[in-house]
Structure 1
Amino acid sequence: MHTDTTAPEFVDLPARAVLTVDGTGAPEAPAFTSAVRALFAVRAALGAREDVPLEGSYSQDGDPLRFDLDRPDGWHWRLSVPAPPPAVPETVETAGRRFGAPVNLRNQEPRQVARLLHRGPYADEGPSLAALYSFVERAGLVPAGPHTEVYLTDPSTTPPAQLRTLLQVPVSRWV
């Protein structure tokens, strides 16, 4: 199946507060589904009304710079959504308990990322990720952490060929 990608670009992302759930394993596993439900339920319980995309940062077997699309059982993930103001740790923790997942409030530092838009099934992201990492290397930068996927379409209502996912890699200069 053919997927296309947009040209990679560098983007500066601002600092922001996010709600997160950390876990391991494949996205088809119950823990992943529970984490997604809890994030959106806590966000709504805190007063958020607008729709926001789910974001997931992925690494492999505890190595933040490794990721194997073919071995999802070894994935370590952090799912996140923007936190509504004025979320505070106590209200997030209380709401998270009600929805059955350890939801945390974290401050995400400002950062520069390389990103591109992947179109098509998640299983076909390999060439898009390779293009993104190659773009980072050609620019004389290095990955500064795990890649993040920003899900712009809902996989429960969008055919796989029409899925759109922003792939992002945080970057830094050579040390």
Structure 2
Amino acid sequence: MGTIDVKRELRGLYGGKVGWFDVVEIPTMHFLMADGSGDPNTSEDYRAVLEALYTTSYAVRAICKTDLGRPHTVGPLEGLWYADDLGVFTARAKEAWRWTMMIWQPEWVTADMVATAVGKVTTTKPAVAVDHIRFEEFSEGTAVQTLHVGPYDAEGPVIARMHDEIIPGRGMVASGHHHEIYLSDARRTDPARLRTILRQPVRSAGE
């Protein structure tokens, strides 16, 4: 069996074109998740959450490969971003942000497998904050999304256009949390070349 890569298997959800806003249907998917708040550039909790998510995801991958013979590529980091006032996102007022960071898991991953992975991480890397982690189904349904290429701090105008022009122009309203999918490794990529999916769940304005 070949290695499963969610970016390849679900190209329509993990790809796009700059300046083009697609309406997509998101199936129910499974994720490792962890919550927090504050500026991701300065928050120690944010760093701890990312370390826990990646370490646990790689431990799950090892179990899938060894026990099931079903290898997969660890999915990209994704984030749900929310606040009482959505204006903080276009204003980039990061101290007011709340977030749920998450990494996709294949459909054959079970809660027991995740618990085993967490146990292994706890034993081998006790400093990793796996107590932050939970394993959940996530259903978004209909969403509008686009590809942004460039620094994260340049996303504001694109998000504003999505909310103020694109979504109402298609007879829809925002429903659910702003969702970002980080297709590039920010540690190794020039900020001008960072590729990020910007997604907003929506519903019909008549509902």
Which of 141, 150, 160 is equivalent to 2:191? 160
Distance 1:73 1:93, change over 3 A: farther
Find the counterpart in structure 1 of residue 33 from structure 2.
20
Which of 88, 97, 109 is equivalent to 1:75? 97
What secondary structure sits across from 2:61 in the alignment? coil
Alignment of 1:48-127 (within 5 A): 49-60=72-83, 63=84, 65=86, 67-68=88-89, 69-84=91-106, 85-88=108-111, 91-92=114-115, 95=118, 98=122, 99-101=128-130, 102-127=132-157
How far did residue 51 of structure 1 move?
3.2
Residues 82, 98 of structure 2: 8 Å contact kept? yes
Residues 52, 81 of structure 1: 8 Å contact kept? yes
Find the counterpart in structure 1 of residue 12 from structure 2.
none
C-alpha separation in 1, matches of 2:85 and 2:177? 5
C-alpha separation in 2, matches of 1:53 and 1:145? 21
How far did residue 163 of structure 1 move?
0.5
- Give the residue type in structure 2 aligned to 1:40: Y
How far did residue 65 of structure 1 move?
4.7
| TM-score, reference length from structure 2 | 0.74
Matched residue count: 170
Find the counterpart in structure 1 of residue 48 from structure 2.
34
How far did residue 47 of structure 1 move?
2.5
Task: Quote the RMSD (CA, aligned, Å).
Answer: 2.3
Which has the larger helix fraction? 2
Structure 2: give runs of 5+ residues left out of the alignment. 1-16, 63-71, 123-127
How far did residue 66 of structure 1 move?
5.0
Find the counterpart in structure 2 of residue 130 from structure 1.
160
Which has the larger strand fraction? 1
Distance 1:140 1:89, change over 3 A: farther
**Identity of counterpart residues, as a percentage?**
28
Which of 40, 54, 58 is equivalent to 1:44? 58
How far did residue 83 of structure 1 move?
2.0
State which structure, 1 or 2, has the greater radius of gyration over its C-alpha atoms. Answer: 2
| TM-score, reference length from structure 1 | 0.87
C-alpha separation in 1, matches of 2:48 and 2:182? 17
C-alpha separation in 1, matches of 2:171 and 2:116? 41
Residues 60, 113 of structure 2: 8 Å contact kept? no
